[in-house]
């Protein structure tokens, strides 16, 4: 099965983070991709709080897109906050934050950020069939 897409809007508020996790879990179960749930939920758990934290006041909603393409699952979090694009950085040992994109980078095949009008989309790719998994 290839070519499935699910796009859902969530309000820019802290309560949406658990709703996003639940939505990713139920969608991947429905798509028979249960082996990707842990990594997909962790990636969206890193991207969504950044949207809630930084996009306040720039729009009422953000979008989560899940796309099943040949060989990959694409996760996208899009918001209307365009003034600061996320960048991979190496935080100091005593920094309290700044590790989210390191986690996304470690779990995904590829990830990136693209501009949209207005705002940006942060995306990550997970292989549908990874080495050592059925």
pTM: 0.84
Domain range annotation of the chain: 4-127
Cis amide bond preceding 28, omega within 30: no
pLDDT tens-place string over residues 46-92: 999 888 877 665 678 899 999 999 899 999 999 887 666 667 677 67
pLDDT tens-place string over residues 86-129: 676 776 777 666 667 888 989 999 999 998 888 889 999 999 97
Q: How far from chain centre, in Å, is Cα 91?
A: 21
Are the CB atoms for 6 and 65 separated by under 8 Å? yes
Encoded tokens for 39: 């990594």
Q: Is 4-127 a domain of CATH 3.30.565.10?
A: yes
Q: How far from chain centre, in Å, is Cα 112?
A: 11
CA distance 51 to 38: 20
Q: Return the ∠ at Cα 76 (arms to 4 and 121), rounded to 5°.
A: 135
pLDDT of residue 49: 85
Kindly list the distances between the CA atom of residue 4 and the CA atoms of 56, 72, 110, 111, in Å, as whole numbers in the listed order: 30, 11, 19, 20
Question: Residue 65's beta-bridge partner residues?
Answer: 7, 76
């Amino acid at each position: 099965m290839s070519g499935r897409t699910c796009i859902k809007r969530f309000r820019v508020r802290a309560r949406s983070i658990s709703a996003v996790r639940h939505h990713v879990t139920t969608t991947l179960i429905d798509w028979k991709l249960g082996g990707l749930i842990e990594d997909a939920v962790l990636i969206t758990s890193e991207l969504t709080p950044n949207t809630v934290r930084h996009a306040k006041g720039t729009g009422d909603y953000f979008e989560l897109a899940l796309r099943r393409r040949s060989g990959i699952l694409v996760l996208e979090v899009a918001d209307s906050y365009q003034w600061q694009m996320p960048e991979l950085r190496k935080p100091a040992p005593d920094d309290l934050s700044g590790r989210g994109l390191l986690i996304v980078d470690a779990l995904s095949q590829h990830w990136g950020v693209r501009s949209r009008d207005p705002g940006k989309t942060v995306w990550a790719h997970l292989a549908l069939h990874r080495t050592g998994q059925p």
